[in-house]
Amino acid sequence: MTEQATKTDVGVSQVKCIGCGRTALPDRFRCETCRDLLEIIYPGWEPQGPYGLNAASLKKLWRDRKSSFEPADQSGVWRFREVLPEIADDKIITIREGNTPLYELPHCAKSAGIKYLYAKHQGMNPTGSFKDTGMTTAASFARAAGYKWVACASTGNTSASMAAYAARGGLRSLVLIPDGKISWGKLSQSLDYGAITVQLKTDFDGCVRVLNEVVERMPVYLLNSVNPYRVEGQKTVAFELLEQRGWEAPDHIIAPGGNLANSSAVGKALREMKQLGFISRVPKVSVIQAEGANPLVRSVRENGGEKLIAVHAETMATAIRIGNPASWKKALRVIRETGGEVEQVSEVEIALAKAEIGAEGVGCEPASAVTLAGLKKLVKQGFVKANETVVLVLTGHTLKDADFTLKFHRGDLFEGTPHKAESNTLKPLQRSPLVLEPRVDAVIELLQSAE
């Protein structure tokens, strides 16, 4: 492989079942034989194979692309196209996703009791969530395969992202979301980007059930995260993170768990980076769920992860209000392979962590904040040591759920809930908006009284 590696040199992907290992057709989402999920593999990467990749030359090539003006090079996903499934350049739909910042979080580190804490902020993607990195790949493949319609069930971010990529790619899109259970910001995005948006009178898991039947009967391409092309795009977050750290692995990566595709994607990338010689050590990957939406936590604790215990999900972190996660087996494999943990956090712990991330000038949506809340627990348990380097994957932008933030600061987030008493501990972080007469003195007095 020369420095000029291109995707056509290495384009040798296959779709395979994660259960029985059988090869599948590229536009399927489950194995026709055992119904397990599918994943994309690259047999041509074997060092002895004809396309063995050279990590050193790829590191340079990917860096050089940052100064290119080509749309695919400017994408923080397609910049890494040698480790993605092959596609013709003119089929790529990109809104310049990826290329997200890695922030230090010194105050949150202190609050968690560790020295080195960073946030890989995927909320800084074009539609405000990590979903864009997987949507660029899967929507592009939908277009390449000739589909006119794409669809997803969503807790709000997938739908916002899908609607945007479909619009950019000239595809029609259908969104199924749980009625009244997603933030209005996310709902407004899918309307703005032109999707047909349907609020079903059920929860996310109910939306998935309906959509699975619709795509069986209609020529509509499913863009939920069971789509293996979504996972391929999403995995680039870990390539980019390692690049930002000079290819030095952190000790620990912590991701929120909903449908469990994101953690699966991070783990897949780490596995591939190790295989290809980009890194010599794989960080632990831990997954944090909300207590009210904890099917993976329960399954691990109650049956050792033998089978999924689906739950009726309830949490204010609506993005991860999921009781029957599709990618649980993939995520569990990542947690086991890397030696990570699975943990759950309470509603009040989530609200506190979100406020702390906000107070660093970074901010995130509630579902992302489970990572910091979970880290604190893992430190207390001694699982994460004070001198370890930890990266939190922040999945959504703070503006995704402004309602939550306003209610938090006004002090009425937990009004009428069983968490009201416990939420008194949040008072020191609450900054209710003030109303004053338009007098200079009043503002000066306020400044003088501020600590």
Chain residues binding ligand F0G by CB under 6 A are 129, 131, 154-158, 225, 256-262, 319-320, 365, 367-368, 395-396
**Closer to ligand F0G at the Cβ: 129 or 133?**
129
Minimum CB separation from ligand F0G for residue 67, in Å?
A: 31
**Closer to ligand F0G at the Cβ: 109 or 255?**
255
Minimum CB separation from ligand F0G for residue 31, in Å?
A: 20
Minimum CB separation from ligand F0G for residue 421, in Å?
A: 28
**Closer to ligand F0G at the Cβ: 65 or 284?**
284
Minimum CB separation from ligand F0G for residue 168, in Å?
A: 18
**Closer to ligand F0G at the Cβ: 82 or 365?**
365
Minimum CB separation from ligand F0G for residue 234, in Å?
A: 8
Minimum CB separation from ligand F0G for residue 122, in Å?
A: 8
**Closer to ligand F0G at the Cβ: 399 or 444?**
399
**Closer to ligand F0G at the Cβ: 58 or 255?**
255
Minimum CB separation from ligand F0G for residue 286, in Å?
A: 13
**Closer to ligand F0G at the Cβ: 356 or 365?**
365
Secondary structure, 3-state, the chain: CCCCCCHHHHCCCEEEECCCCCEECCCCCECCCCCCEEEEECHHHCCCCCCCCCHHHHHHHHHHHHHCCCHHHHCCCHHHHHHCCCCCHHHCCCCCCCCCCEEECHHHHHHHCCCEEEEEEHHHCCCCECHHHHHHHHHHHHHHCCCCEEEEECCCHHHHHHHHHHHHHCCEEEEEEECCCCCHHHHHHHHHCCCEEEEECCCHHHHHHHHHHHHHHCCEEECCCCCHHHHHHHCHHHHHHHHHCCCCCCCEEEEECCCCHHHHHHHHHHHHHHHCCCCCCCCEEEEEEEHHHCHHHHHHHHHCCCCCCCCCCCCCCHHHCCCCCCCHHHHHHHHHHHCCCEEEECHHHHHHHHHHHHHCCCCCCHHHHHHHHHHHHHHHCCCCCCCCEEEEEECECHHHHHHHHHHHHHCCCCCCCCCCCHHHHHHHHCCCCCCCCCCHHHHHHHHHHCC
Taking CB atoms, the residue at the shortest distance from ligand F0G is 258
